Amino acid sequence: MFQKILIANRGEIALRILRACKELGIRTVAVHSTADADAMHVRLADESVCIGPPASRDSYLNMHQIVAACEITGADAIHPGYGFLSENAKFADILAAHNITFIGPSGDHIRLMGDKIEAKRTAKRLGIPVVPGSDGAVSDEKEAKRIAAEIGYPVLIKASAGGGGRGMKVARSEDELFEALTTARTEAGAAFGDDAVYIEKYLEKPRHIEVQLMGDGMGQAIHLGERDCSLQRRHQKVWEEALSPALNADQRQKIGSIVANAMAELGYSGAGTVEFLYENGEFYFIEMNTRLQVEHPVTEAITGIDLVHEQIRVASGGGLSHTQSEIRFQGHAIECRINAEDPRTFVPSPGTITHFHTPGGLGIRVDSGVYSGYKIPPYYDSLIGKLIVHGRNRVECMMRLRRALDEFVVDGINTTLPLFRDLVGNVDIANGDYDIHWLEKFLAREA
């Protein structure tokens, strides 16, 4: 087992990882930018190292500074959290070259899944259902027209290097194809330095359903059920639940074992998520995330398994702590992402939190790195905390969520709490009856 882990992240996830390390008796090193000197994870870590100025590229993305911090403190492993360097294959390779364990999959697996065209090809080869579309990159309009005619309109042009919904354009007819292709290519080139794009059938009313998995890197892999993350704004998840209100036990078992078998065959190591769109009873692979996800706590709530413990265990060579038949799903869990943003316009709202009071009681978990008097720096994302509620069934979970939201107080800044108070009282949400466009339509109606 590791003696000391360096946490290469900030905010709630840095604290989340620190808690897991403490429980396992592993010493922790926090790294931080000058803007985060007062952060909770810095205060609670055994050691801390300032790695640079506020801008992420000079601090949380600065590989040399982070490796140096590791060598100075004698940390034997790095947990990257999510975002920042968590899906950077070069970082995983550099750590391997320095004999520091990267708590995550191999650089090669990160690279494979980071290229969406390669990821889709691999998924298909491993027996995972994919969205009909081009087999690889599309270079010219003629080819695009032929493929679009084959799969039928509407189609979606997507960037191979894509992320965060950028470089994606819908074409509803052949007339719109050229412009969609050109715009997607230009956007992708500007955002990712890679203008390769591919074509997919555009699904009109899908849900976003993703399967959590763990692999031991030696040919064993299990799945931990799914999460439904259909409530999104601009392709960003807002509310996530486990299990999905749309699946039955058979469907769950079927897609779960397809994913687990595929990851076993790949020899995948650590935590990962295979994301699907789900429409008319069919699953369509869209991408794989080779890291811990923001919404992992809903899976922890229904399985009782600490995913960060598992990641650390697998990375240290200890293998998986459960077989598939030992995984049981209990009750229902919902997560609300609380952002420091205006609840209507979503304009970021940095500043000082004058009062911060979190709800408590049975089935409530709050993962947050902020506190009363904390000044939110303007340099990073606006997530200030996650409220995760667990109940014996979805109805109990929703009732508990409603009262937890009533108890939650954040003064001094705007937050998205009022949005969740609206959602929890909505009849479609109560019925679990929503697709990936539901939230945008709801917000447009409210505006």
Residues contributing to the site for ligand ADP (CB under 6 A)? 131, 156, 162-165, 200-203, 206, 208, 232, 235, 275, 277, 286-287, 436
CA count, 13 A, side-chain hemisphere, 398: 15
Tokens of 332: 């229902």
Choice between 235 and 392, CB closer to ligand ADP? 235
CA 127 to chain centre: 23
Task: Kindly state the smallest distance separating residue 297's Cβ from ligand ADP, in Å.
Answer: 20
Amino acid at 62: N
Which residue numbers are catalytic? 291
Task: Kindly state the smallest distance separating residue 340's Cβ from ligand ADP, in Å.
Answer: 22
CA 317 to chain centre: 24
Residues 6 or more apart whose CB falls under 8 angstroms from that of 126 comprise: 261, 262, 265, 266
Choice between 278 and 408, CB closer to ligand ADP? 278
Task: Kindly state the smallest distance separating residue 349's Cβ from ligand ADP, in Å.
Answer: 24
DSSP β-ladder status, 375-376 and 221-233: unpaired
Cβ-based burial of 275 (10 A; exposed 0-12, middle 13-18, buried ≥19): middle
Residue that is written with structure tokens 């965060």 in the block? 164
Task: Kindly state the smallest distance separating residue 436's Cβ from ligand ADP, in Å.
Answer: 4
Choice between 274 and 305, CB closer to ligand ADP? 274
Choice between 164 and 219, CB closer to ligand ADP? 164
Q: Please name the residue ranges forming H helices in 288-375.
A: 296-303, 307-315
For residue 237, the SS3 value is strand
Residues 6 or more apart whose CB falls under 8 angstroms from that of 326 comprise: none
Choice between 206 and 363, CB closer to ligand ADP? 206
360-381 per-residue burial string, b: 16 or more CB within 10 A, e: under 16: eeebbbbbbbbeeebebbebbe
Task: Kindly state the smallest distance separating residue 186's Cβ from ligand ADP, in Å.
Answer: 16
Task: Kindly state the smallest distance separating residue 280's Cβ from ligand ADP, in Å.
Answer: 13
Choice between 241 and 287, CB closer to ligand ADP? 287
Among 293, 146, 147, which Cα is nearest to 211's? Answer: 293
